[in-house]
């Protein structure tokens, strides 16, 4: 498991492109038959992926890094499949997770195993894990079952549908909040005007992006913005003090996840476009 440290905004002002990517960009989420994990000290979130192809992938890591005897002893886990049909086995119980379906796994679950139904179309399980103070039931949910809403319009190139999956009015968790936003064809912007939420960090994972397209992800303090070029199935860490927005060369989908002091989706500090620099 790779480790990333928290960064002060005064330091980030001095980062060049390479250093910015080293600290916040996660270039590889999925690798065949591997578990990829990145631990960020931003609210101790773990971002990663499991791609079982020819064999099962087990959720495990260097447990000394977490100070526990098994991965979810003091953590919870959100899973969204962005590949082919797969199966997640939690303490012997199988959950079939199709494309864009979500599984929440509660604190105290000891054994988590990832499988693909068809090796020719392997599952790609995107993972977010946060520290947990309470155990909630392992629960599957889908986009059709989610609290969804339409945002934006084609005039501003940001017509999109937001699906809240793990949140106060949906699948219950200790602190993890997780969902998915789908941009309609011809739309490229997400979350603009931008905002911050100093009480929570956030991570984005962009996918459904053509190979010849990119998303320019904006981050930094509103008065000191920076950008990171993102490609398909890559993730980015957003500190609580940073804006998080992006514009693509085509439409795309992204998964957002948060951890911190509360689970209120509407707890945001808006930033006026005229104040961005």
**3-state secondary structure at position 227:** strand
Annotated ligand binding at 197? The verdict is: yes
Question: Is 167 labelled a binding residue?
Answer: no
The answer to whether 18 is a known ligand-binding residue is no
List residues bridging with 166 in a β-sheet.
171, 178
Q: Is 195 annotated as a binding residue?
A: yes
- Would you say 206 and 261 are in contact if contact means Cβ atoms under 8 Å apart? no
Which value, in Å, is the radius of gyration of the alpha carbons in the chain?
A: 18
CA 58/CA 88 separation, integer angstroms: 10
Look at the chain and count its residues.
277
80 contacts 255 by C-beta, under 8 angstroms: yes
Q: Is 250 exposed, middle or buried (0-12, 13-18, 19+ CB in 10 A)?
A: middle
Can you say which residues are annotated as belonging to the binding site?
Answer: 195, 197, 202, 244
Can you say which residues are annotated as belonging to the binding site for Zn(2+)?
Answer: 195, 197, 202, 244
């Amino acid at each position: 498991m790779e480790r990333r440290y928290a960064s002060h905004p005064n330091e980030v002002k001095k980062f060049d492109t390479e250093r910015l990517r080293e600290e916040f960009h996660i270039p590889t989420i999925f690798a065949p038959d591997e578990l990829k994990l990145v631990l960020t000290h931003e609210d101790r979130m773990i971002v990663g992926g499991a791609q079982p192809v020819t064999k099962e992938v087990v959720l495990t890591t260097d447990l000394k890094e977490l100070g526990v005897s098994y991965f979810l002893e003091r953590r919870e886990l959100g899973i969204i499949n962005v590949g082919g049909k797969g199966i997640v086995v939690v303490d012997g119980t199988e959950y079939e997770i199709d494309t864009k379906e979500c599984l929440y796994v509660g604190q105290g679950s000891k054994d988590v195993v990832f499988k693909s139904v068809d090796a020719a179309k392997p599952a790609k399980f995107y993972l977010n894990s946060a520290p947990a103070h309470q155990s909630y039931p392992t629960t599957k949910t889908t986009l059709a079952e989610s609290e969804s809403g339409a945002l934006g319009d084609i005039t501003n190139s940001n017509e999109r549908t937001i699906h809240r999956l793990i949140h106060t009015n949906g699948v219950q968790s200790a602190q993890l909040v997780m969902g998915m936003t789908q941009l309609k064809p011809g739309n490229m912007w997400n979350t603009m005007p931008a905002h911050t939420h100093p009480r929570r960090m956030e991570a984005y994972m962009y996918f459904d992006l053509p190979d010849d397209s990119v998303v320019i992800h904006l981050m930094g303090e509103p008065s000191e913005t920076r950008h990171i070029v993102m490609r398909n199935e890559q993730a980015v860490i957003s500190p609580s003090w940073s804006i998080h927005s992006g514009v693509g060369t085509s439409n795309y989908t992204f998964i957002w996840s948060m951890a911190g002091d509360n689970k209120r989706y509407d707890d945001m500090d808006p930033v006026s476009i005229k104040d961005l620099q």
